[in-house]
Structure 1
Amino acid sequence: MKRTILLLALALAACGSTPDPRPLSIPEAERLALVRFSNYTTGVSAFTASVPSPGGKLVLAGRVDFVNHLGYAGMRTDGRDDEFSKGLVQWNLGRMAFAMTPSAEAVDPVPVVDWQVRELQERGSELDGALRLLVNLGADRPENAQLLLQSTARWLRSDKIGEAAVDVFEGPKQKSDDSARLRYWLDQDGKLRRLEAKLGNQEELAVFDFTSSKQPVQVIPPLAS
């Protein structure tokens, strides 16, 4: 009797355990290879983001155009409510523009305000890293699934975002920074629902959530050139 109870307990524990991360299967590599191309065909996505930084967690909400590599968002510092903690940001592959505004909502049409423009930094800024990452998530062709299959990319687990079932994948290690691996939350159609990233020296992951949007991004004159 005791042996039967022990075997039953072990079986139930095994059923409830979470599978260990593992290398990609061929279909999973093909699915992961299509992420940026799928974003490109989508065109524009709405997003929200939570980006840890030394000055406090940055909260962004706006849209990203994966075809033209352009983003527009309202931004605020979580836990603060002063005039220096919120505003609007628009950016492309190389530059960003920021304007302090009373509201951190990315309204349309884009307001005529005093935009301060600068180059995106390659290193040293979690915000710049997040913005650069977002506008690089679209490509006009799929990645090489065979190379992904041979890489360190792996399947982590099954999960859910709301009612949507997703698989969570970890991308390949980057040669320049082995800790900077991205985690892709893909639904059953291969759409990117969430992205997690380690930015700068922050231990907490930055989190980006995506939903569909048909509202284009109106580029401001300082970035139009």
Structure 2
Amino acid sequence: MTKYLVMVLLLAACGAPDSRPPSPAEAQRLAHIRSMPAAAITARVPTGAGVVVLTGRVDFANRVGDTTMTTEGRTDPAATGLLHWDRTELTFQGWTRPLRRDGSELDTTLLLLASLHTAGPDDPAALRRTVTWLRSTQLNGTPVDVFQGDHLTYWVDPAGNLRRLEAHLAGNSAPAVVDVTP
């Protein structure tokens, strides 16, 4: 029995692809994801108050977003409404407050989305040193390559479009997941 279990584990390990630095072509595709001007998003952000779901649009170039926000399992007025944000503040149901940089899961995710855009592509050579290719897979019927950076996982299609971003937030075992439709 033990010999059989060891063989199964060895076969499973041999069949799993190893992570590696991205190829030059993969790094080139990854370098362009932050120059996307705007996209539709659906985000799931785990918070202490429940999982917040954002559905709407982010204008990455102008660093603003407009979404509908709902909190799974809640029906109170603070759990559902329209949310607008930029790099400095958020507006929800008519009240406005500064975005907090103190580690709040929702604020951290909104700040990440507001700062994702760059005017030009990232340096592919630098990406080859700092990002790891994890695997090729499919996401909603689209082939993607999955790359791991520092606290972020990028799902990139063959055209170089970001299709999913996972942010591993401090103090949370589940990542914030942002599905992107260019």
**Do they fold alike, i.e. is TM over 0.5?**
yes
Q: How many residues align?
A: 174
Q: Which residue of 2 aligns with 1:182?
A: 152
> Which residue, out of 92, 102, 108, partners 1:129?
108
Asked if 2 retains the 8 angstrom alpha-carbon contact of 1:21 and 1:154, the reply is yes
More strand by share: 2
Structure 1: give runs of 5+ residues left out of the alignment: 1-8, 100-114, 174-180, 213-225
Structure 2: give runs of 5+ residues left out of the alignment: 1-6
Is 1:64 equivalent to 2:58 in the alignment? yes
Normalised by the size of structure 2, how large is the TM-score?
0.89
> Which residue, out of 148, 165, 183, partners 2:143?
165
Structure 1 residues 82-122: Cα deviation after superposition (integer angstroms, max 9, x where no partner): 222111110111111111xxxxxxxxxxxxxxx21111111
> Which residue, out of 18, 28, 32, partners 2:26?
28
**Structure exhibiting the larger radius of gyration computed from Cα positions:** 1
Is 1:81 equivalent to 2:75 in the alignment? yes
User: 1:42-121 maps to which residues of 2 (within 5 A)?
Assistant: 43-99=37-93, 115-121=94-100
Q: Deviation above 2 Å: which 4+ runs of structure 1?
A: 13-16
CA displacement at 1:15 relative to structure 2: 10
Asked if 2 retains the 8 angstrom alpha-carbon contact of 1:18 and 1:157, the reply is no
Question: Using the alignment, how far apart are the partners of 1:15 and 1:154 within structure 2?
Answer: 19
Normalised by the size of structure 1, how large is the TM-score?
0.73
Residue identity (%): 43
CA displacement at 1:162 relative to structure 2: 1.7
Structure 1 residues 41-67: Cα deviation after superposition (integer angstroms, max 9, x where no partner): xx3211000000111111110100011
